[in-house]
Structure 1
Amino acid sequence: MRAYDVILKKRNGGELTSEEIGFMVNGYVEDRIPDYQMSALAMAIYFQGLNERETTDLTRFMVESGDQVDLSGIQGFKADKHSTGGVGDKTTLVLAPLVAAAGVKVAKMSGRGLGHTGGTLDKLQSIPGFSVEFTPQEFVDIVNRVGVAVVGQTGNLVPADKKLYALRDVTATVDSLPLIASSVMSKKIAAGADAILLDVKVGSGAFMKRLEDAVALARLMVNIGSRLGRNTRAVITNMDQPLGRSVGNALEVREAIETLQGRGPEDLTELCLILGGHMLHQAGRCKVPEEGKKYLEKLLDRGDGLAKLKEMIAAQKGLPEVVHNLELLPQAPCQEEFRSPAEGVVEKINAEAVGLAAMILGAGRETKESSIDLSAGIVLHKKVGDAVAKDEVLAVLHSSERWRIEAAREKLREAYIISNQEVKPQPLIYEVISEEN
């Protein structure tokens, strides 16, 4: 078998066999197939696509290219949740401990952020002392003891994805549905959970800008998971404005803790309860997701989710007192208000522009080598549909360096649209896609 023939076949619109896909993936990981030939195949896939069977085979070979996490030592049902990313998306910080408090084990491996803000690991590490580096056995022990742990990915988890993603990033082949789906699902399958819930974001602050694209991606990922023996479900959620009110690492941790205290933003609270209801349903803990949602509401009111977060922080060597004293989180020395230029109603907030403003403040990374200011970010005082007076505070900018605030202010001006038009409420959930649906 030759790489040239496989590339030619896909370039001409042919369907690749399982053996051909395995040959290319294994050959690339083992350095027998050079970058330029794998780039050619990625471009051929970008234009010709892959069918569902081909995409599933690609995912499977990517999973098998490296280590797979063995969670068999964890007692009980293991659930995992993945978000395709957005601005102010701190759902894991609320959802994981809350679902664990309901008796479902949450063994989650996360990554660091590149772009608008930090990833889940960066956010958690704004908690003093919090560690994300544990051996596989330590990871299993924490989940068995506490019910939840969020740690960094092992070094050899899905090496095929690491190599292929880096290649796609420099060859303009990132936005291909089969390549996106196989990248996401290979990591989730390798992470070993019994069930996978996918939070697929759509809107100005998401990778997927159009609803039809988000639906197509969600359906493909659910089908891949089902074909590979995992209980997989996708919820398509709104990212046309930031989720919650805080954007930035320590600021998002603060908001997540406030949400578990029962005083978080309505949209973040509701989304976490809905996603949690689906996770409980996948775990067989309720007959319908709505029943699981109501149960989680009771746990939230009782403070069980907050207590579980405190346990998780202590187990991962962090300072558990942070859940009762938010002043222990990093705080930016420079904080300035951003005021409304006009009276009216907030018609729109461009989530991507808010995310870019947060990155200018120091909350995100432009490159993998960039450092993050954990205290930096933005707190929104007004969201879509809110009435606002001229010169009223729209947001507060946080940074360790004052020059960044002026630069971020210019970007934030692009984000807010104030008008006198009536604004219809935005949906939080667009669609749920499961094996049955």
Structure 2
Amino acid sequence: MSAGEPFAAVDVIRSKRDGGRLSDEQIDWVVGAYTRGVVAEEQMSALAMAIFLRGMDSGEIARWTGAMIDSGERLSLHGSRPTVDKHSTGGVGDKITLPLAPLVAACGAAVPQLSGRGLGHTGGTLDKLESIPGWRAALSTEEIVRQLEEVGAVVCAATPTLAPADRKLYALRDVTATVESIPLIASSIMSKKIAEGSAGLVLDVKTGSGAFMKTREQAKELAEALVAIGKAHGVATTALITEMGTPLGRAVGNAVEVAESVEVLRGGGPADVVELTVALAREMLALAGLGSVDPAAVLASGEAYETWCRMIRAQDGDPEAPLPAPKHVHIVEAPADGVLSTLDAYAVGVAAWRLGAGRARKEDPVQAAAGILCHAKPGDRLSAGDPVLELHTDTPEALPAALHTLENSFTLQDSAPPATPVVLDVLR
């Protein structure tokens, strides 16, 4: 035990290793001491593995989340509008934040969407928006508050002082095979979201091949943990479990997803993107006390698109500027006649990443124009030679690896598969 410290890290590790329950005092100390550098990386690695193997009960998870929130500042974003936020656990083609934030703002709420960057096969909201000429992700707390009051929506990077314990632990989990721990996932998500200061939170928990939670059972377990943490911290929280076996919409990448989001805001776009955007908006408005407002009508009116333009301009972006175009395009064609039966979200996401849309390490750059357009979705009838996927990249040497990833990414059959709903379950 270090001088002046009430606990020794090895005792906390041993307690969880042996299946014990960590006390509130142990949790507060170990998270704070890790943030201060008193608990070493190898000690927190051992504790993270013990949590991964032994789990935590709901009380431990709520306290761990609170300790991570208390490691930094809490934003105070309350103005004249009710605040409500949304978080997605990540998927392929999941551009929903882009149309959703301005839509909910156009309905009368304030949406402080502090977002992240992509890693691996799931895209990052900030990477997508940075394909808009001039747009900037980094805002001060004062700029966030002003934009929420004047525009009603802000999508930006989290401030460095928001849940710093989570930032340290997130990086550690990535290199110690402890990412998949539901207590650590849930506390990571909720510490950042609760520290933002929103009164309400809607969670989009994805399930399927392109999601982190591959099965509905895993997704439900995570959703229940997230909702329980929200309630324990006084934040009205709802979770939707949504389908991610097939890419969401037709665009996967950066600029291509921005273009598709603008289509939705202008009254068009793929049906599944519109359906999920409206479903999430309804839940957010209900939590904000604006349940009488119909988001579908507001979307059709064009008000959400006007809010989008104000939101982009407020962060120095030009919503009218042409988006970056790829230097190289490659078409993957249907090998025979038939109905597209499956289109694997994970394979499409990995291929888009290989084309330059994502990154393998946090410091890697991304290509704004890289990505994939899905010309066909399950249920579409195709003739041999019809385009199925359109690959975009600025680096043609990346094409062979992307095409290899896509070799078994879709199947054809004689008749249409049964339709899968976008929203599978709702937990309140």
Instruction: State TM-score, norm by structure 1.
Output: 0.94
198, 216, 220: which one aligns with 2:221: 216
Q: What is the alpha-carbon distance in structure 2 between the residues aligned to residue 70 and residue 392 of structure 1?
A: 53
Tell me which amino acid in the other structure corresponds to 1:389.
Answer: S
Please say if residues 117 and 247 of structure 1, whose CA atoms lie closer than 8 Å, have aligned partners that are also in contact: no
- The 3-state SS of whatever aligns with 1:342 is coil
Q: What is the alpha-carbon distance in structure 2 between the residues aligned to residue 310 and residue 369 of structure 1?
A: 30
Tell me which amino acid in the other structure corresponds to 1:362.
Answer: G
Residue 4 of structure 2 corresponds to which residue in structure 1?
none
Shift of 1:301: 1.3
12, 15, 18: which one aligns with 2:21: 15
Shift of 1:422: 4.0
Shift of 1:107: 1.3
Residue 320 of structure 1 corresponds to which residue in structure 2?
319
Tell me which amino acid in the other structure corresponds to 1:30.
Answer: R
Q: What is the alpha-carbon distance in structure 1 between the residues aligned to residue 90 and residue 290 of structure 2?
A: 27
Pair 1:151 & 2:143 matched: no
Residue 179 of structure 1 corresponds to which residue in structure 2?
184
Please say if residues 65 and 158 of structure 1, whose CA atoms lie closer than 8 Å, have aligned partners that are also in contact: yes
Tell me which amino acid in the other structure corresponds to 2:82.
Answer: F
Residue 174 of structure 2 corresponds to which residue in structure 1?
169
Deviations 1:136-170, CA, capped at 9 Å, x for gaps: 11111111011111111111211111111222112
Residue 44 of structure 2 corresponds to which residue in structure 1?
38
Tell me which amino acid in the other structure corresponds to 1:377.
Answer: G
Range 169-178 or range 115-124, more displaced: 115-124
Q: What is the alpha-carbon distance in structure 2 between the residues aligned to residue 332 and residue 69 of structure 1?
A: 39
Pair 1:350 & 2:356 matched: no
Pair 1:367 & 2:368 matched: no
Range 14-23 or range 2-11, more displaced: 2-11
Tell me which amino acid in the other structure corresponds to 1:160.
Answer: A
Residue 192 of structure 1 corresponds to which residue in structure 2?
197
Residue 331 of structure 1 corresponds to which residue in structure 2?
325
Q: Which runs of 5+ in 2 are unaligned?
A: 1-6
Shift of 1:402: 2.0
- The 3-state SS of whatever aligns with 1:220 is helix
Please say if residues 91 and 123 of structure 2, whose CA atoms lie closer than 8 Å, have aligned partners that are also in contact: no
Shift of 1:117: 5.1
- The 3-state SS of whatever aligns with 1:50 is coil
Q: What is the alpha-carbon distance in structure 2 between the residues aligned to residue 35 and residue 129 of structure 1?
A: 38
- Pick closer, same or farther for the CA change 1:70–1:425 going to 2, 3 Å: same
Pair 1:65 & 2:59 matched: no
Please say if residues 377 and 398 of structure 1, whose CA atoms lie closer than 8 Å, have aligned partners that are also in contact: yes
Deviations 1:78-126, CA, capped at 9 Å, x for gaps: 1110000000000000100011000011111111111125411111111
Tell me which amino acid in the other structure corresponds to 2:284.
Answer: M
Residue 105 of structure 2 corresponds to which residue in structure 1?
100
Please say if residues 378 and 416 of structure 2, whose CA atoms lie closer than 8 Å, have aligned partners that are also in contact: no
Residue 325 of structure 1 corresponds to which residue in structure 2?
none
Q: What is the alpha-carbon distance in structure 1 between the residues aligned to residue 314 and residue 65 of structure 2?
A: 33
Please say if residues 398 and 405 of structure 1, whose CA atoms lie closer than 8 Å, have aligned partners that are also in contact: no
Shift of 1:171: 1.5
Number of residues of Structure 1 aligned to a counterpart in Structure 2: 422
Please say if residues 249 and 273 of structure 2, whose CA atoms lie closer than 8 Å, have aligned partners that are also in contact: yes
Tell me which amino acid in the other structure corresponds to 2:269.
Answer: G
Residue 407 of structure 1 corresponds to which residue in structure 2?
401
Q: What is the alpha-carbon distance in structure 2 between the residues aligned to residue 76 and residue 259 of structure 1?
A: 25
Please say if residues 118 and 372 of structure 1, whose CA atoms lie closer than 8 Å, have aligned partners that are also in contact: no
Residue 116 of structure 1 corresponds to which residue in structure 2?
121
- The 3-state SS of whatever aligns with 1:82 is strand
Tell me which amino acid in the other structure corresponds to 1:316.
Answer: Q
Q: What is the alpha-carbon distance in structure 1 between the residues aligned to residue 368 and residue 244 of structure 2?
A: 23
Q: What is the alpha-carbon distance in structure 1 between the residues aligned to residue 312 and residue 68 of structure 2?
A: 32
Residue 271 of structure 2 corresponds to which residue in structure 1?
266
Please say if residues 336 and 397 of structure 1, whose CA atoms lie closer than 8 Å, have aligned partners that are also in contact: yes
- The 3-state SS of whatever aligns with 2:377 is coil
- The 3-state SS of whatever aligns with 2:329 is strand
Range 154-163 or range 244-253, more displaced: 154-163
Tell me which amino acid in the other structure corresponds to 2:137.
Answer: V
Q: What is the alpha-carbon distance in structure 2 between the residues aligned to residue 144 and residue 90 of structure 1?
A: 24
- The 3-state SS of whatever aligns with 2:282 is helix
Q: Which runs of 5+ in 1 are unaligned?
A: 323-327
Q: What is the alpha-carbon distance in structure 2 between the residues aligned to residue 186 and residue 77 of structure 1?
A: 20
Q: What is the alpha-carbon distance in structure 2 between the residues aligned to residue 134 and residue 167 of structure 1?
A: 26
Range 217-226 or range 131-140, more displaced: 131-140
Shift of 1:414: 2.1
371, 384, 387: which one aligns with 2:381: 387
Range 339-348 or range 220-229, more displaced: 339-348
Tell me which amino acid in the other structure corresponds to 1:311.
Answer: R
Please say if residues 123 and 374 of structure 1, whose CA atoms lie closer than 8 Å, have aligned partners that are also in contact: yes
Q: What is the alpha-carbon distance in structure 1 between the residues aligned to residue 37 and residue 315 of structure 2?
A: 37
Please say if residues 367 and 394 of structure 2, whose CA atoms lie closer than 8 Å, have aligned partners that are also in contact: yes
Please say if residues 91 and 122 of structure 2, whose CA atoms lie closer than 8 Å, have aligned partners that are also in contact: no
Q: What is the alpha-carbon distance in structure 2 between the residues aligned to residue 218 and residue 119 of structure 1?
A: 21
Tell me which amino acid in the other structure corresponds to 2:244.
Answer: M
- The 3-state SS of whatever aligns with 2:238 is strand
Please say if residues 208 and 214 of structure 2, whose CA atoms lie closer than 8 Å, have aligned partners that are also in contact: yes
- The 3-state SS of whatever aligns with 1:347 is strand
117, 122, 141: which one aligns with 1:136: 141
Please say if residues 112 and 120 of structure 1, whose CA atoms lie closer than 8 Å, have aligned partners that are also in contact: yes
Instruction: State TM-score, norm by structure 2.
Output: 0.96
Please say if residues 92 and 123 of structure 2, whose CA atoms lie closer than 8 Å, have aligned partners that are also in contact: no
Please say if residues 117 and 365 of structure 1, whose CA atoms lie closer than 8 Å, have aligned partners that are also in contact: no
- The 3-state SS of whatever aligns with 2:99 is helix
Q: Percent identity?
A: 46
Q: What is the alpha-carbon distance in structure 2 between the residues aligned to residue 399 and residue 10 of structure 1?
A: 47
44, 51, 57: which one aligns with 2:57: 51
